[in-house]
Amino acid sequence: MSKTPNQSRAPRIWWELCLFAFAFISAPTLRPFVSQVSWIDPSWIYLVAVGLPLVLLCLSFIFDISPTLVGRAEVSFQNRHAQDTYSIPVQFKIIKWIVPGFSRLRAIRTDTNETLSAWSLRMNHSLQVR
């Protein structure tokens, strides 16, 4: 019996989708409500409401940075599916990041104890690429 590929989605994907949705769906709806308040410049609020989720989205996508709660769920998910996803033995853990409340996903090759970048792991050792 052959193994079927995993069809579930990682928790970080949901975090990134929520950021994307807030930046492009929820933030534009704030503009009319913020313009009613006379002491706040609506363009600054709109810039922050769109810019902050986009910055967090880029950090999550490029550097695997997410809130610690999402990071813990991602570590659990990745460790559970690592054998089916990657061609090398790998274990994931989270490390604290500069900003409190945020953490970074770290991949460690278990046979050589080498730290791998997320892009290297995905591009060079993923079973789905081959």
Can you list the residues of the chain whose pLDDT is less than 50?
1-2, 4, 6
14-49 pLDDT, tens digit per residue, is 999 999 999 888 877 877 777 777 676 777 777 888
Cα three-residue angle 33-53-103, rounded to 5 degrees? 140
DSSP H helical segments within the chain, as ranges? 11-21, 27-34, 42-63, 68-85, 118-125
Predicted local confidence at residue 95, as pLDDT: 93
Look up residue 66 and give its DSSP letter. E
Count, residues in the chain: 130
Predicted local confidence at residue 124, as pLDDT: 85
d(CA 88, CA 108): 10
Structure tokens at 50: 């769109």
Predicted local confidence at residue 37, as pLDDT: 72
First to last CA, the chain: 21
Report helix, strand or coil for 93. Answer: strand
Q: At what angle do helices 27-34 and 42-63 cross, to 10 degrees?
A: 160
Predicted local confidence at residue 34, as pLDDT: 74
Instruction: Name the residue among 72, 129, 82 with its Cα closest to residue 105.
Output: 72
Predicted local confidence at residue 2, as pLDDT: 43
d(CA 127, CA 81): 12
